[in-house]
Structure formats: structure tokens, C-alpha cells
Amino acid sequence: MGVDRFRGTDMKGFRQSQSTLHTWSGLLLGWILFAVFVAGTAAYWREALNRWTRPELAQIEQPERVVSGAVAYLTKRAPDAQSWFIPVPTTESAGSQVFWQPQVEKGEERRRGRGRRDTQALIGADGQAVTARETRGGDFFYRFHFDLHYMPVFWARWIVGIAAMFMLVAILTGIVTHKKIFRDFFTLRRGKGQRSWLDGHNASAVLALPFHLMITYTGLVTLMAMLMPWAVVANYTDETKLFAAVFPQAPVVERAERVVPLTPIAPLLRDAERELGGPVGYVGVTNPNDAAARITMTRAGTSMLSARTPSIAYDGVTGREVWRAPAPDGATVTQGAMVGLHAGRFGDFGIRWLYFLCGIAGSIMVASGLVLWTVKRRERLPDPARPPFGFRMVERLNIGFVAGFPIAMTLYLWANRLLPLGMERRADGEINAMFVGWGIVFAYALVRQPNRAWVELLGLLAGLLLALPLYNLVALPTGLVATILRGDWVLAGADLTLAGLGAGFAFAAWRVHRFRPKARRRAVREMPVSSNAWAPAE
Amino acid sequence: MTSADRATDVRWRRHGDNLLRLIAAVPGGYAVASLWAMALARILPGDRVAATITATLIAFVVCAVAVMWAYAARSGWRALWTLTIAGGIGGAIAWASIASGGRI
């Protein structure tokens, strides 16, 4: 009987049921997960990519000078704005992307400050507004990681959230499926077709297992207000009451309509650093150049684990402290620490590298799992020359995502280099280039014979990655030689990492090219003709 | 019944069983997690902010375990009714607590 498989509560039956769940939950959302995982991994170098994509900018040496310059710029550019927002750069940042919220004219609707080009500016190392090429830099990969693109943020976050939930289930079922999880980890049978793929999948999964579990669960936590609002509903009639407790804000003051110049910012930065116990990450100014001006300083997320960073507010005229965020309770700190663990901002370069490598392991885990699905089934196909439609679709979607998405990301970096600097809506142009390129690669993957498509597209990816640092070397003043001589390890590291990834994909392309599936014919003869290639694996 | 009929019968029963498990897992797992998030938010000690956040953090684990149970249970029906009872208990606790204590 069909349900016999599920009968019996012994360990074997349990493992089998969880193996089925692992296979299908992993496959169903594996492609989206792969794109989210890869973009998130790249986003660990968000700041470095922000610099890399703006090669005309000088390296920041004195962050305080940039902030003072930002205040001077805003005083001239938007003296009577409602508020200013100034991120404090580090020596790794491209600059300070300031924005302001203009006064609402009578009869006009409230305008959004963020994301509007006419209410923001990039302040460079010398404290002046700079005109770098228009790009979203590494920030785009960061936003894509949870907002995707070309769709409302609401739907994108639900899709990513559901994918993350499937991932959590896939990881937990993956753990219980492997009875010999640690012995499996030390097993790597090379050149053995399915066994090798399985071993590769296991190794990339087990190697960074604590990371995978942590990153998936904390990823859900970052979106929890949206995905799981029911605990809030159970306790609050109005959710803003909870948010006011979790994100305490300095009380709002009305504009006095009396022009008084702002107190110098640098002494306040130093005072806030002392009071908050760490460097300042954001400066907010409300009612600038007014008698009721307020300056709020928030501690940098790079200086502590919890993402719930404390703030302090000063009178903008006298510079006296007027408010301080109350100490958060344990649960808020726990949740903030989970968000902080996910984003990894607290880490120095060593930790950032660890995150990056674990992210690559996770990407390999998802990719090898997807490929394993086809490898397992190919050996049991009744007629390998004519696989069923579903099998061919999975096979080609795998190519379109696993080779295609990294190609698309690399094309984004190429578009950053090659699009005309004065182009209208250039930042959007870079993103469109990425997705148009991805579409072409996808179409190619659909029509080309799969084995050839793998080799050619992995080879193309390797070539595109390896050529980027070469292009920088020839065409830009920020080539590898110059950056190494200057000791600018952020930019040099970015070029070297791109080259390293290129070499890795070149190796993968070469291995796929040389791979000859020997076991296939024998396996087919051993299987009865009626065997169902669609039955769950194992 | 011919053996072909029997094979078809078996296949449909398996499809039905899988469908029940899917319903138990996807809308069911989320529903159980949501109801227990509400229940825990009401009964956990500490102030309301802490209880609300802690309950939400636990809810994701509840969701994952419920999905796993939907496939580990002996049959699809069993998965469905056990999860219905589990969710019902959470819902009842939340309802009783809100009805007697009210919300902030």
C-alpha cells in the first residue's frame, strides 16, 4: 500500500519521511534561496563594493572631517530642512551619503526623503560634495538580498521569508536525515558521480552547519515583525506602542521659527562616543539652524553585536545633552543581537572573511543540493536520452540560477565600469544590465545541451571575473598595483577576491568539461524498467 | 480488481496522503506557530515587550517543528488532526487570556 512507507514510527521511517521533506522543501525554493544566499554573501563586502564601484573617490582618512563637511554642505544646501541624516563614515566607507527632508509646503503631501536624488548627496574624504559615477554600489546586493528587484518590497520580503522558513526546515531535516553526519563530513569520494555530489553537499553543509542554522534563523528574525506579527497582536491594540519601546526616539520638538546657528558637530561626536561607549554611526539633526534644533547621535552598528544601538540627543544650539535612550530589556537585546549576528557588521576583517567563506559554503550547499536532485534521478531514468519534462526543467533552472545569477552579478560590476559616466539614470542602468544579461543567460541555458551549457557558462563567468581586475589595472588609477603600493587593502582585496573567484569558477568549468559519467549505463541496466524516476530519493 | 486498478488506487491514495501532509505543513504549520506565538506572548513572564519578542522568536522554531511533524506523522490525516489540536490549545490559551486580561 502506498502509505506503508510512512507507517511505523521507528527511526528508519522517521528519517525517510524527513529525507522526503528535505528533498522537496530544498528543491521548491532552492533557486530563490541560492540567489538570496549569494547576494547576501556579497553584501558582507557592501562597504568595500561601495568603494570599488566609485573608483574616482579618494580614501577616507579622517571620518570626523567628512561629518563636519557634511554639516557645512547641508547648512548651505538645505538650511531650513525638517531634518538632516548624516551617516558617519569609517576609513572603509566610500563617503557619507547624506540626505535631508525638506519642509512640507502648504497643501503639499509629505515627501519621502530617502531614495530621492534631489534630497541627497555624497560627501567625500575632503568634506566636499563629490560627483562620483551614479551607482548603488554594494548597497544594491544588500537590498536585493531581502527586497529582490522589480517588485513591491512587501511581496519580495514575504517570498524571501518563506524561502528562509523552507531553508530552516531543509537544514533541520538534513541534520536528522544523516545518521552518520560527522563521519560523512570526513568522507569525500572524488570522481564518483552521485556519491561525490552527495559528499560535496554534505561537506559544505556540515562544515559551516552552525553558520547555516544561525544565518537562517536570524534571517527570519530580521523580518519577524512582518512574518510573525501575531505575538504583537495578542498584546497590543496598536503596534506603534511596541515599536516605541523597542526603538526609543527622542521626543519631537516643534520648530521655534527663530534662526540660530548650529553648535559645532565635532565636540559632540567626541562626547557621544564617550557617553555611548563606542563610535557614532549616525547623526540626525532635526530643525537645523533653528532655536529648537536637536542633534541625535546613534552608536555605530560596527562597534557592537546588538543591532539595537543606543542613541543620545543634544540641544542643537547649546550642545547640552537633553535625552538618552533607556537601557533595552533582555529580550530586545537578544533579538537585536540576532539581527547583529545576521548582518555581521560588528566584525573586523577576520570575522568578515569568516562570514564570507561560510556564505560561500552555504551557496555551494544550496547549489550542490539542487544539482544532486538531478544527478540522483538521472541514474534512474528509464531512458536517459529522453528525460521527462520536469527533470529537464529542473536541470535547466539549475544552470540558469547557479551559473546565471553569479554571471548577472558580475555583469552588474561590468556595467558599473562600462556605462557612460554621464548617462541618465545610470544607477538603474547598471541594475537593468544585470537582469537583461541574466535573461539572456537563462534563455541560453534553456536551449543549449545542459553539459555544454554548464561548461560554457561557468567558463564565461570565470572570464568575466578574471577580466575585471585586469580592466581596473589598465583603465583606472585604482588598479591592483597602485592599491597594493598605497596599502589600500580594501580595494586591493576586492580585486584579488574577484580574481580568486574567477579562478575557482575556471576550475569548476574545467572539471565539468572533463567529467565523463561512467556509471550511467551500468546503473540503467541494473534498474528495472518500471522504476519511477519521480519517486522521492532514497 | 485487476492489478493495474490496484496500482492506480495506491497511487491516488499516496497523492491524497501527500496533499494532507502539505496542508498540515504549510498553512497548518504557520497557523500552529501563530497561535502559539499569541499564547506565549500572553503567558510568558516578564514585561509585555520582552514576552512579545520572546514569543515571536520561539514561534519560528514551533513552525519548523510542526512542518517536520507533518511529514513524520504516521499518516496525513493524523498529521492534520494532531496539528489542529496543537494549534487549538494555543488558540484557546490566547483567547482566554485576551478575553480575561485585555490588550494594551
Q: Flag whether pLDDT at A202 surpasses 60.
A: yes
Q: What is the DSSP string of A162-180?
A: HHHHHHHHHHHHHHHH-TT
Q: Which of B14, B48, B67 lies nearest to residue A235, judging by beta carbons?
A: B48
> CA separation (Å) from A142 to A23, A282, A376?
28, 19, 34
User: In 3D, which of A374, A379, A378, A424 has the Cα closest to residue A399?
Assistant: A374
pLDDT at A464: 98
Cα-to-chain-centroid distance, residue A148: 10
CB contact under 8 A, A235 and B54: no
Q: Which of B38, B49, B59 lies nearest to residue A245, judging by beta carbons?
A: B49
Q: Could you tell me the pLDDT band of residue A108, with boundaries at 50, 70 and 90?
A: low
Q: Which three cell numbers stand for residue A128?
A: 566636499
pLDDT at A435: 97
Stated as kind and residue range, the H or E segment containing A30 is helix A11-43
Residues of A in contact with B93 (CB under 8 A): none
Residues 6+ apart with CB under 8 A from A499: A465, A466, A468, A469
**Which range has the worst mean pLDDT, A101-105, A234-238, A387-391, B72-76?**
A101-105
- Distance (Å, whole) CA A218 – CA A358: 15
Phi/psi of residue A288, each to 5°? -60, 145
pLDDT at A447: 94
For residue range A362-376, what is the model confidence (pLDDT) as tens digits?
Answer: 999 999 999 999 988
Please answer whether residues A145 and A36 qualify as being in contact, where contact means their C-beta atoms are separated by less than 8 angstroms: yes
Q: Give the mean pLDDT of A250-275.
A: 92
Q: Which residue has the higher pLDDT, B2 or A251?
A: A251
Residues 6+ apart with CB under 8 A from B90: B32, B35, B36, B38, B39
The answer to whether residue B6 neighbours chain A at the CB level (below 8 Å) is no
Stated as kind and residue range, the H or E segment containing A121 is strand A120-123
Cell 519517486 sits at which residue? A535
CA A2 to chain B, closest CA, distance in angstroms equals 5
pLDDT at B3: 76
Q: Could you tell me the pLDDT band of residue A98, with boundaries at 50, 70 and 90?
A: very high
Q: Which residue of B has its CA nearest to A20?
A: B71
CB contact under 8 A, B52 and A236: yes
Cell 531581502 sits at which residue? A146
CB contact under 8 A, A231 and B37: yes
CA A12 to chain B, closest CA, distance in angstroms equals 11
Q: Give the mean pLDDT of A485-506.
A: 96
- Distance (Å, whole) CA A325 – CA A308: 11
Q: Which of B46, B60, B104 lies nearest to residue A236, judging by beta carbons?
A: B104
Interface A-B: count of C-beta contacts within 8 A: 132
Residues of A in contact with B42 (CB under 8 A): 234-235
Q: Give the mean pLDDT of A15-23.
A: 86
pLDDT < 50 regions, chain B? none
Q: Which three cell numbers stand for residue A319?
A: 550642545
Q: Flag whether pLDDT at A111 surpasses 70.
A: no
User: In 3D, which of A173, A176, A11, A7 has the Cα closest to residue B76?
Assistant: A7
- Distance (Å, whole) CA A208 – CA A370: 18
Q: Flag whether pLDDT at A530 surpasses 80.
A: no
Q: Which residue has the higher pLDDT, A190 or A433?
A: A433
The answer to whether residue A240 neighbours chain B at the CB level (below 8 Å) is no
**SS3 at position B39:** helix
User: In 3D, which of B34, B53, B25 has the Cα closest to residue A247?
Assistant: B53
The answer to whether residue A327 neighbours chain B at the CB level (below 8 Å) is no
Q: Flag whether pLDDT at A284 surpasses 60.
A: yes
CA A109 to chain B, closest CA, distance in angstroms equals 32
Residues of B in contact with A176 (CB under 8 A): 68
The answer to whether residue B31 neighbours chain A at the CB level (below 8 Å) is no
Indicate the pairing of strand A294-299 with strand A311-315: antiparallel
The answer to whether residue A21 neighbours chain B at the CB level (below 8 Å) is yes
Mean predicted lDDT score pLDDT of chain A: 88
CA A166 to chain B, closest CA, distance in angstroms equals 8
**Which range has the worst mean pLDDT, A94-108, A191-205, A412-426, A479-493?**
A191-205
The answer to whether residue B57 neighbours chain A at the CB level (below 8 Å) is yes
pLDDT at B64: 96
For residue range A403-436, what is the model confidence (pLDDT) as tens digits?
Answer: 999 999 999 999 999 999 989 999 999 999 999 9
Cell 543549449 sits at which residue? A448
Q: Could you tell me the pLDDT band of residue A525, with boundaries at 50, 70 and 90?
A: very low
CB contact under 8 A, B17 and A329: no
Q: Which residue of B has its CA nearest to A240?
A: B104
Residues of A in contact with B46 (CB under 8 A): 329-331
Q: Give the mean pLDDT of A204-225.
A: 92
Indicate the pairing of strand A280-286 with strand A294-299: antiparallel
Q: Which of B40, B68, B97 lies nearest to residue A169, judging by beta carbons?
A: B68
CB contact under 8 A, B41 and A231: yes
CA B83 to chain A, closest CA, distance in angstroms equals 17
Q: Which of A1, A231, A245 lies nearest to residue B56, judging by beta carbons?
A: A231
**Optimal mutation site among B21, B52, B74, interface A, most CBs of chain A within 10 A:** B52
Q: Give the whole-number percent of chain A exceeding pLDDT 70.
A: 88
Q: Which of A18, A220, A232 lies nearest to residue B71, judging by beta carbons?
A: A18
Residues of B in contact with A20 (CB under 8 A): 71
Q: Which of B17, B59, B72 lies nearest to residue A231, judging by beta carbons?
A: B59
Residues of A in contact with B100 (CB under 8 A): none
CA angle A153, A306, A266 (to 5 degrees): 95
User: In 3D, which of A17, A336, A2 has the Cα closest to residue A169?
Assistant: A17
**Which range has the worst mean pLDDT, A501-505, A526-530, B11-15?**
A526-530
Q: Which residue of A has its CA nearest to B15?
A: A2
**Optimal mutation site among A223, A230, A247, interface B, most CBs of chain B within 10 A:** A230
pLDDT at A109: 59
Looking at beta carbons, which pairs linking A424-433 to residues 24 or more positions away fall under 8 Å?
A425/A134, A426/A133, A426/A134, A426/A135, A427/A134, A427/A135, A427/A136, A430/A135, A430/A136, A430/A140, A431/A136, A431/A140, A431/A149
Q: Which residue of B has its CA nearest to A213?
A: B61
User: In 3D, which of A410, A111, A355, A377 has the Cα closest to residue A218?
Assistant: A355
CA B89 to chain A, closest CA, distance in angstroms equals 15
Number of residues in chain A: 538
Residues of A in contact with B55 (CB under 8 A): 231, 234
